[in-house]
Structure 1
Amino acid sequence: MRVYLFIAAIAGGATWLLTPLVRHLAIRIGAVGEVRARDVHTVPTPRMGGLAMLLGFATAMFFAARIPFISGLFKTGHQAWVVLGGAVAICLLGMADDLWDLDWMLKLAGQLLVSVFVSWGGLQIISLPLGSLVTASPSLSMAITAFLIVASINAVNFVDGLDGLSSGIVAIGGIAFAIYSYVISRFSPSYASMATLIDVALVGICVGFLLHNWHPAKLFMGDSGSMLLGYLITCASIVVTGRLDPATIHTSIYLPAFMPILLPILVLFLPVLDMCLAIVRRLSKGQSPMHPDRMHLHHRMLRIGHSVQSAVLILWGWAALFSFGSLTILFVPVRYAMLGLAVAAALLTIATLFPYYLRRLPELRQENAQLAEARRAQQGPSAGGSGQGRARQ
């Protein structure tokens, strides 16, 4: 565990130190995001922070290759270097978009090429821990892997709309998945785990960048950062679940058999939900799935009445609920885990809707007062008329 914490510290420290340099570089080459109608920020801000994250991740991987405990992961195969090569390629694609605003179809084609390269290099879903389910052919395995990578890349890209939001959500998911992959690795002959290594380095670069990206952000991660984060967290999940054989681990004691499928979904539940809602919303209006709008989850939080910081913190809370909530059943009886999740969900719901009801209560009181006054005005003349009639009789 101390080795993994050291790798996370290396990744975070390198990212934190390199981010100011990348910011100056982004300003010099013109990678500055102009204020658009859908944006929350009000001043032009440099982007391309993904380059600092990539350098931090690469630094951590090179350090890891020289640590005896996990150096065997680099000697027994080339999976680590395939992941790093794909990270470089996806970050370069994002940097091109940060500079020149690429067409969405061109960007999607680039994502597919990188995903196919990574799956061709050996990062594939060979089997899934659902009984005897095994992919039928190498081409099908590559297709499933490429689809998952592209979907996750765009899910994180969609949710990247507030300072610190996507880096915090991915860091939370990375911590949850690192814990899970570390527990799984304890049942293997060697405790070293490529998935845990990728996850802790991912958490490190997220935290290191977040120190510069908290509102008001000095630098945006841009597409180079959001696509890199989506790519890395998916690679880690594929490494740990794509070749997992439930018969080799003690599922009856610690690891429910469905967890390898459930956890990768829940780790990115919030970004995937936002992406699915956006695609359905835009297609229903006859628009392109990539057509920008101001109807994402974070935009709705601001419309309710949250500040940028409170919206980010509450969305982090929901991400933690989905990510860590699924882990609790590994260590806590299910009934207690469900009770805790229900209480946490209720508290988060109250926190989410509190500004809305705080704003609506005075409006409701005013509406009730106007309605009561209108009723009295209607009842007044009729009561007076009946009294005059009785007097004439």
Structure 2
Amino acid sequence: MREYLLVLSVAAIVTYLATPIVRWCSVRWGAMPPVRDRDVHSIPIPRLGGVGLYLGMCAGVFIASRLPGLRHTFMYSSETTAVLVAGGIICLIGALDDRFDLDPLTKLAGQLVAAGVLVLLGVQLAFIFIPGGELGTISLDPNTSFLLTTVLVVATVNAMNFIDGLDGLLTGVAIITATGFFVYSYFLGKQGYGDAFSAPALMTAVLAGACLGFLPHNFNPARIFLGDSGSMLIGLVLAAAAISTTARTDTQSFDTLGNAVPLIMPILMPLAVLAIPLLDMLLAVIRRTRKGLNPFSTPDKMHLHHRLLEIGHTQRRAVIIMYVWTALLTFVGVGSAIFDTRWVLLISAVLAVAAVVLMLMPRVRRRIDGGAPHVHRTSRMSERKK
């Protein structure tokens, strides 16, 4: 654990120190597009934050390769190298999009290339476990495995990109989800399912550290945004961690843990941890498709975080609410594999009630105040400027 903490700290420190330099380069290069109708900020903000994340991750991985325990992850697996190479590609594509606003087809092609490189270098979903049936574990042929892995990576990349709409939102969500994946991967290693020093645990530790170092620059009021270079990089790393954890787990042996939930954790964990961004993406696709619009090239202000702002929450409170829901679902996914499921569900129910009350608080206040309409803080500021 000490080696993981060292790697996480190095990634956080390097990202924190590199981000101001990246911000300066972003301003000089012109990677700060004008404010769009769907944006919630009022002045152009530099992007390219993903470059700072990537530098922090590279520093963390370099230190890991020099440590006595973690260096074994490089000897027996190419997955960490695959994530760095594919992450560099997708970060470059995102940086070009941050600067030149690439068309959706070009950006999708870049995502497919990065996902393909990730698979070819060793991160691949080799089997699927189907609980409650006679099929059990289904081994995938190389072509099906390549296609399915690529689809999962691209879907996760776009899911993370969809929720990147408020200061610090995706950065905090990434910290929570990466930490959840790390705890689960580390737990598997400690229980004998693989090794405590594993590629998924390493890649999520460096991602969590890099995001921790970036958050002070990104939290409201943000001085720099992740941009597509950061959101797509986060999505790729989390997808790789989920796939790698599933690929190295013998799901048939999970019945020794004593209940049915851990048996299907390789399926439930990614869904639970990534539930919020995946749900937001699914709702956006359905909403735009019903209107006859392109779901990936027609942005709107109907995402979950936008709805929280409409209810009456400030940016910071909306972001914290999203943090709470992400942490809650992550706790359900990870906790079910580690603790007694009944206690996990009981604690989760209490936390869910508290989260709902916090989310609906502005509406309750308006009813107490006699139905007076809420005036958002940014609206009041704009009226003062007028």
Paired position in structure 1 for 2:384: none
Pick from 306, 314, 318: which aligns with 2:321? 314
- Distance, in Å, in 2 between the alignment partners of 1:365 and 1:294 is 23
Paired position in structure 2 for 1:374: none
User: SS of the residue aligned with 2:126?
Assistant: coil
Paired position in structure 2 for 1:77: 77
Q: Deviations for 1:9-46, whole angstroms, at most 9, x for unmatched residues? A: 01111100000000000000100131111100111110
Does residue 198 (structure 1) correspond to residue 203 (structure 2)? The answer is yes
Correspondence 1:127-276 to 2 at 5 A: 127-130=127-130, 132-186=136-190, 187-188=192-193, 190-248=195-253, 251-253=256-258, 256-276=262-282
Task: Kindly state the Cα deviation for residue 74 of structure 1 after the two structures are TM-superposed.
Answer: 1.0
Letter in structure 2 aligned against 1:134: I
Q: Deviations for 1:200-234, whole angstroms, at most 9, x for unmatched residues? A: 10100111100110100010010000000001011
Paired position in structure 2 for 1:114: 114
Native 8 Å contact 1:12 1:205 kept in 2: yes
Letter in structure 1 aligned against 2:110: G
Native 8 Å contact 2:171 2:215 kept in 1: yes
Q: Deviations for 1:334-360, whole angstroms, at most 9, x for unmatched residues? A: 322222111111110010011122123
Q: Deviations for 1:120-168, whole angstroms, at most 9, x for unmatched residues? A: 2221000134363224310100111000000000000000000000010
- Distance, in Å, in 2 between the alignment partners of 1:201 and 1:81 is 13
| TM-score of the two chains, using structure 1 as the length reference | 0.90
User: SS of the residue aligned with 1:37?
Assistant: coil
Which one is further off, 138-147 or 115-124? 115-124
User: SS of the residue aligned with 1:134?
Assistant: strand
- Distance, in Å, in 1 between the alignment partners of 2:337 and 2:247 is 20
Native 8 Å contact 1:128 1:243 kept in 2: no
Paired position in structure 1 for 2:376: none
Which one is further off, 81-90 or 237-246? 237-246
| TM-score of the two chains, using structure 2 as the length reference | 0.91
Paired position in structure 2 for 1:13: 13
Paired position in structure 2 for 1:376: none
Which one is further off, 153-162 or 70-79? 70-79
Does residue 28 (structure 1) correspond to residue 28 (structure 2)? The answer is yes
The 1:78/1:365 distance shift into structure 2, 3 A limit, reads closer
Identity over the aligned pairs, expressed in percent? 40
Task: Kindly state the Cα deviation for residue 326 of structure 1 after the two structures are TM-superposed.
Answer: 2.2
- Distance, in Å, in 1 between the alignment partners of 2:214 and 2:66 is 25
Which one has a bigger Cα radius of gyration? 1
Gaps of at least 5 residues in structure 1 are 367-393
User: SS of the residue aligned with 1:34?
Assistant: coil
User: SS of the residue aligned with 1:217?
Assistant: coil
- Distance, in Å, in 2 between the alignment partners of 1:360 and 1:280 is 32
- Aligned-pair Cα RMSD in Å: 1.7
Task: Kindly state the Cα deviation for residue 281 of structure 1 after the two structures are TM-superposed.
Answer: 0.3
Task: Kindly state the Cα deviation for residue 82 of structure 1 after the two structures are TM-superposed.
Answer: 1.4
- Distance, in Å, in 1 between the alignment partners of 2:17 and 2:310 is 35
- Distance, in Å, in 2 between the alignment partners of 1:332 and 1:81 is 33
Paired position in structure 2 for 1:288: 294
Task: Kindly state the Cα deviation for residue 365 of structure 1 after the two structures are TM-superposed.
Answer: 9.4
Native 8 Å contact 1:158 1:271 kept in 2: yes
- Distance, in Å, in 1 between the alignment partners of 2:6 and 2:197 is 14
Letter in structure 2 aligned against 1:330: A
The number of residues matched between the two structures is: 366
Gaps of at least 5 residues in structure 2 are 374-386
